[in-house]
């Protein structure tokens, strides 16, 4: 379970790193190589390799290793980064992405595309040096490893079945955080310490003791099935500046002789060795005699010194000449806590309950007419409002998360189409609800592809039209009155009204006698099955039309519109509510029913009496405003009442009026989704629970505005049947 979490984290992090890598590569392509960008690419490969290594995901480790090696050479200035390499690295990033997908799908042991990998590795290999130094180093370690078995077979071995370890740690080990005690403890996990003698000979008198230096030595007889390399590895970290001598079972007596010779008092060590059973009395005597003989002999000391190197340090410090890497500059990486989305949702749910409970308390306070109580609940309300806002911002992420994939998309598609297209991204920091980010990606991708495919002309056509050879595609986002607006603009040929209309007529979407406004014509693009492309290219002609885009956006309670100027370009504008969970609502009442209108969309409230209101059009300051009576809309029984109020709402550029009985004021509405029973009602976007526990319906203002506007349209042009409206209502 835990490891599953870790695996998910690996996948998520790898994806983020790949995005960073891709951005850095694209940055190099446009702005030239910088050490920062190169480091970012290197770090991505490096970190993915490291994390994947933890799980022994060998396919991805071995591949990223090669990429990392090439990048290391780039970093060290041995290889220049050029166009070919950029493309190669982008492709490698994609392949790493495929390997990451495999990890997510639990198929990490299957190569996603072996042929592709071979090609990539071959291309990468061209940037690498042939491995020259490696075999030498390998040979070195190999000889060191062979020592053990040879000695076991040698003649004249002692009778002991145990290993003997003689350890003299350097004075600095403790200061370096290495405690001999813990090494010995670790050793004991590998076998049985038969005998251990702690040597205190070097320990000075207390007054002269450097309490932080290490003085102890150890002679150990050790019973273990582990091989020499394994036992040696216990002392990996201390080997460099300590004397570690390891004698295998049945070592030659010479080995012990040289060991004894190292001691200031050979007799004592001999005693220790006998006590631990490393040597028998006879063997010791033999050894002492031989040692005396050697001392008269020619080169015992030198031989001993060589033997002291018994445990060679295999580390080959190769790249000392390597360029010293610049101190890493402060990167743009920010600190984040990663929180599971489900936890966040839970918090928001709770805040929602808090809002409802708070409203309940407010209600009671109002009824009790207790000033202090009211004041207290008021203070709590303010705090709850702040908590609500803060909780909701936790879910907000910059739209840059969606935008960031487009530089690569635009690069690849423009190459494929043979068009020169420059991408400009603005407003990437604009925030919106996380859940929307995920659902926005596909529609945006489709719109962008559409623009590149059909909007922006080929270079020749552009030059002929007197435009710059390079086409421009712009992604923009900004906040506007409680909504986030996302625009995809191009400076291409614009939409062709006649062509669209002709196509729509051909497809039977409209009849030729319809007199449609430009806006209505553009809207036809979003009708199911509509495609303007004369020839279906492999990019846009995938059977997914703009109707799917529209449906996706509408499912987010948003709307999409198209603005276009022939010959100058097209802008697709998406408008979405900022959040999906809680809204500031405005309560209105019709009969005994309470309805909630999103406050952001309310422009003003006026008394309907005294205004000229006929045929659902009211003249407001001289301007006609279409309106709808909620009583009629929801088929509520008529009641005797003296006055009606008009709530003016706006969505996008359009306004409409809603006629109600009473205005109840502001209220925080926690949006509860409607049950499937209500999903057919188009004027309602959700429900909410009032402070007294009653349910109120939240009005779908975008839909109402559109509907009333279209009614007005059809009224003013009564000859034209409200086809779009009809079309809409029959559509679902």
Partner 1 sequence: MPISEQTRDGHLLLQLEGGLTIFQAAELKDELLQALAHAEHRIELNLAAVEEIDSAGVQLLLALKHEAASQQKTVNYSHHSPPVLAAIDLLNLAATLGDPLLIPNAR
Partner 2 sequence: MGKTILIVDDSFSMRQTVGIALKGAGYDVVEASDGKDALSKLDGRKYNLIISDVNMPNMDGISFVKAAKLLPNYKFTPIIMLTTEGDETKKQEGKAAGVRAWVLKPFQPPILLDAVSKLVMP
Applying CB under 8 A, which residues contact partner 1? 174-175, 179-182, 184-185, 188, 193, 195-198, 200, 203-207, 209, 211-212, 214-216, 218
As measured in angstroms, the least distance from the Cβ of 160 to partner 1 is 18
Which of 41, 87, 26, 85 shows the shortest CA–CA distance to 423? Answer: 26
Which residues have a Cβ under 8 Å from the Cβ of 186 and sit 6 or more positions away?
Answer: 234
Nearer to partner 1, 218 or 667 (CB): 218
Report 338-367 residues binding partner 2 (CB under 8 A).
338
Report whether 576 contacts 651 (CB < 8 A).
Answer: no
Q: Which does 196 bind (CB under 5 to 8 A by kind): partner 1, partner 2, none?
A: partner 1
Q: Which does 214 bind (CB under 5 to 8 A by kind): partner 1, partner 2, none?
A: partner 1
Identify which range of 143-151, 322-330, 389-397, 487-495 contacts partner 2 by CB under 8 A: 322-330
As measured in angstroms, the least distance from the Cβ of 22 to partner 2 is 18
- Asked if residue 189 binds partner 2 (CB under 8 A), the reply is yes
Nearer to partner 1, 179 or 422 (CB): 179
Cα distances from 388 to residues 341, 352, 467, in angstroms, run: 17, 8, 50
Residue 669 CA to residue 596 CA, distance in Å, equals 8
Q: Which does 2 bind (CB under 5 to 8 A by kind): partner 2, partner 1, none?
A: partner 2
Nearer to partner 1, 181 or 315 (CB): 181
Task: Select from 130, 208, 335, 592 the one that contacts partner 2 (CB under 8 A).
Answer: 335
Angle at 394 between CA 388 and CA 400, to 5 degrees: 135
Nearer to partner 2, 54 or 502 (CB): 54
Residue 691 CA to residue 357 CA, distance in Å, equals 7
637: tokens are 């029984």
Phi and psi (nearest 5°) for 423? -105, 130
Which residues have a Cβ under 8 Å from the Cβ of 502 and sit 6 or more positions away?
Answer: none
Cα distances from 218 to residues 167, 198, 308, 349, in angstroms, run: 5, 5, 16, 64
- Asked if residue 478 binds partner 2 (CB under 8 A), the reply is no
How many residues touch partner 2 under the rule CB under 8 A: the total is: 57
Nearer to partner 2, 317 or 653 (CB): 317
Chain position carrying tokens 């729509």? 504
Nearer to partner 1, 241 or 412 (CB): 241
As measured in angstroms, the least distance from the Cβ of 388 to partner 1 is 48
As measured in angstroms, the least distance from the Cβ of 207 to partner 1 is 6
Task: Select from 90, 174, 509, 613 the one that contacts partner 2 (CB under 8 A).
Answer: 174
As measured in angstroms, the least distance from the Cβ of 182 to partner 2 is 5
Nearer to partner 2, 237 or 478 (CB): 237
Under DSSP, is residue 707 helix (H, G, I), strand (E, B) or coil? helix
Q: Which does 338 bind (CB under 5 to 8 A by kind): partner 1, partner 2, none?
A: partner 2
Burial of 570 (0-12, 13-18, 19+ CB in 10 A): buried
Residue 252 DSSP symbol: B
Nearer to partner 2, 69 or 537 (CB): 69
Q: Which does 441 bind (CB under 5 to 8 A by kind): partner 1, partner 2, none?
A: none
Report 217-256 residues binding partner 2 (CB under 8 A).
234, 236-238, 240
| Mask for 12-51, x = binds partner 2 (CB under 8 A) | xxx----------------------------x--xx-xxx
How far from the centroid of its chain's Cα atoms is residue 63's Cα?
Answer: 21
Q: Which does 529 bind (CB under 5 to 8 A by kind): partner 1, partner 2, none?
A: none
Nearer to partner 1, 97 or 191 (CB): 191
As measured in angstroms, the least distance from the Cβ of 323 to partner 2 is 8
- Residues 248-265: b if buried by 16+ CB within 10 A, e if exposed: bbbbbbbbbbbbbbebee
Q: Other CB atoms closer than 10 Å to residue 476's CB: what's the count?
A: 19
**Dihedral class, residue 676 (left if φ above 0, else alpha if ψ from -120 to 50, else beta):** alpha
Angle at 79 between CA 73 and CA 80, to 5 degrees: 130
- Asked if residue 175 binds partner 2 (CB under 8 A), the reply is yes
Task: Select from 319, 371, 677, 719 the one that contacts partner 2 (CB under 8 A).
Answer: 319
Q: Which does 620 bind (CB under 5 to 8 A by kind): partner 1, partner 2, none?
A: none
**Long-range contact set of residues 44-51: C-beta below 8 Å, sequence gap at least 24:** 44/17, 44/18, 44/20, 45/21, 45/71, 45/96, 47/13, 47/17, 48/13, 48/14, 48/17, 48/18, 48/96, 48/100, 51/10, 51/13, 51/14
Q: Which does 203 bind (CB under 5 to 8 A by kind): partner 2, partner 1, none?
A: partner 1
As measured in angstroms, the least distance from the Cβ of 56 to partner 2 is 5
Q: Which does 368 bind (CB under 5 to 8 A by kind): partner 1, partner 2, none?
A: none
Which residues have a Cβ under 8 Å from the Cβ of 79 and sit 6 or more positions away?
Answer: 70, 73, 85, 127
Q: Which does 198 bind (CB under 5 to 8 A by kind): partner 1, partner 2, none?
A: partner 1
As measured in angstroms, the least distance from the Cβ of 258 to partner 1 is 24
Nearer to partner 2, 207 or 317 (CB): 317
Handedness of CA 331, 334, 338, 344 (dihedral sign): negative
Nearer to partner 1, 162 or 712 (CB): 162
**Dihedral class, residue 406 (left if φ above 0, else alpha if ψ from -120 to 50, else beta):** alpha
What are the DSSP calls for 118-179, one per residue? HHHHHHHHTTS----SHHHHHHHHHHHHHHHHHHHHSSSB-S--SEEEEEE--TTTTTTT--
How far from the centroid of its chain's Cα atoms is residue 50's Cα?
Answer: 17
Report whether 536 contacts 453 (CB < 8 A).
Answer: no
Task: Select from 29, 72, 345, 554 the one that contacts partner 2 (CB under 8 A).
Answer: 72
As measured in angstroms, the least distance from the Cβ of 242 to partner 1 is 13
- Asked if residue 193 binds partner 2 (CB under 8 A), the reply is no
As measured in angstroms, the least distance from the Cβ of 214 to partner 1 is 6
- Asked if residue 122 binds partner 2 (CB under 8 A), the reply is no
Nearer to partner 1, 127 or 183 (CB): 183
Q: Other CB atoms closer than 10 Å to residue 595's CB: what's the count?
A: 24
**Site of interaction with partner 2 (CB under 8 A):** 2-3, 5-6, 9-10, 12-14, 43, 46-47, 49-56, 61, 68, 72, 172-179, 181-183, 185-186, 189, 212, 234, 236-238, 240, 317-320, 322, 324-325, 327-328, 330-331, 333, 335, 338
């Amino acid at each position: 379970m835990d490891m599953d979490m870790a695996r998910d984290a690996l996948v998520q992090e790898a994806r983020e790193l790949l995005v960073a890598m891709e951005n850095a590569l694209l940055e190099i392509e446009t702005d030239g190589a910088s050490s920062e960008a190169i480091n970012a690419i290197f770090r991505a490969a490096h970190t993915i390799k490291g994390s994947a290594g933890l799980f022994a995901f060998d396919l991805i480790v071995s591949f990223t290793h090669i990429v990392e090696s090439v990048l290391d050479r780039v970093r060290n200035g041995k290889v220049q980064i050029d166009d070919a390499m950029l493309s190669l690295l982008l492709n490698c990033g994609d392949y790493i992405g495929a390997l990451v997908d495999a990890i997510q799908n639990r198929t990490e042991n299957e190569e996603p595309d072996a042929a592709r990998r071979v090609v990539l590795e071959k291309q990468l290999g061209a940037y690498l040096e042939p491995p020259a130094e490696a075999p030498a180093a390998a040979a070195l370690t190999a000889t060191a490893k062979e020592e053990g078995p040879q000695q076991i077979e040698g003649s004249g071995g002692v009778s002991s079945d145990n290993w003997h370890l003689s350890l003299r740690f350097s004075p600095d080990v403790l200061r370096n955080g290495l405690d001999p005690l813990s090494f010995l403890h670790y050793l004991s996990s590998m076998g049985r310490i038969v005998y251990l003698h702690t040597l205190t000979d070097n320990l000075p008198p207390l007054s002269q003791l450097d309490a932080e230096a290490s003085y102890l030595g150890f002679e150990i007889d050790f019973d273990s099935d582990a091989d020499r390399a394994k036992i040696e590895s216990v002392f990996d970290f201390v080997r460099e500046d300590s004397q570690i001598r390891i004698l295998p079972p049945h070592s030659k007596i010479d080995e012990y002789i040289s060991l004894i010779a190292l001691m200031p008092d050979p007799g004592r060590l001999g005693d220790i060795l006998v006590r631990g059973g490393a040597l028998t009395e006879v063997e010791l005597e033999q050894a002492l005699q031989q040692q005396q003989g050697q001392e008269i002999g020619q080169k015992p000391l030198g031989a001993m010194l060589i033997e002291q190197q018994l445990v060679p340090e295999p580390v080959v410090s190769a790249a000392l000449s390597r360029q010293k890497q610049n101190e890493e500059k402060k990167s743009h990486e920010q600190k984040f806590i990663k929180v599971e989305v489900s936890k966040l949702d839970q918090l928001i749910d709770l805040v929602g309950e808090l809002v409802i409970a708070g409203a309940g308390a407010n209600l009671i306070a109002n009824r009790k007419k207790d000033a202090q109580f009211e004041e207290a609940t008021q203070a709590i309300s303010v705090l709850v409002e702040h908590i609500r806002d803060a909780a909701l911002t936790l879910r907000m992420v910059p739209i840059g998360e969606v935008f960031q994939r487009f530089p690569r998309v635009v690069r690849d598609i423009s190459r494929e189409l043979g068009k020169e297209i420059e991408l400009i991204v603005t407003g990437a920091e604009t925030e919106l609800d996380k859940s929307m980010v995920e659902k926005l990606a596909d529609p945006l991708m489709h719109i962008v592809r559409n623009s590149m495919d059909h909007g922006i002309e080929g270079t020749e056509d552009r030059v002929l039209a007197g435009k710059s050879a390079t086409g421009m595609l712009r992604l923009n986002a900004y906040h506007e009155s409680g909504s986030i607006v996302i625009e995809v603009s191009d400076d291409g040929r614009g939409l062709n009204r006649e062509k669209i209309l002709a196509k729509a007529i051909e497809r039977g979407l409209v009849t030729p006698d319809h007199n449609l406004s430009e806006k209505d014509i553009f809207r036809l693009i979003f009708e199911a099955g509509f495609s303007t492309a004369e020839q279906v290219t492999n990019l846009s002609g995938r059977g997914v039309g703009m109707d799917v885009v529209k449906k996706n956006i509408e499912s987010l309670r948003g709307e999409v519109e198209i603005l276009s100027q022939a010959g100058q370009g097209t802008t697709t504008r998406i408008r979405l509510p900022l959040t999906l969970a809680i809204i500031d609502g405005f309560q209105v009442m019709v009969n005994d029913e309470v309805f909630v209108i999103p406050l952001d969309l309310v422009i003003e409230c006026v008394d309907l009496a005294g205004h000229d209101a006929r045929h659902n059009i009211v003249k407001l300051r001289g301007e006609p405003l279409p309106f709808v009576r909620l009583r009629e809309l929801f088929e509520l029984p008529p009641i005797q009442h003296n006055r009606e109020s008009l709530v003016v709402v706006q969505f996008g550029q359009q306004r409409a009026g809603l006629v109600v009985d009473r205005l109840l004021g502001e209220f925080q509405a926690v949006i509860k989704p409607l049950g499937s029973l209500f999903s057919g009602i188009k004027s309602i976007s959700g429900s909410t629970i009032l402070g007294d526990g009653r349910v109120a319906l939240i009005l779908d203002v975008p839909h109402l505005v559109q509907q009333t506007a279209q009614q007005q349209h059809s009224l003013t042009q009564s000859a034209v049947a409200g086809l779009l409206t009809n079309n809409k209502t029959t559509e679902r």
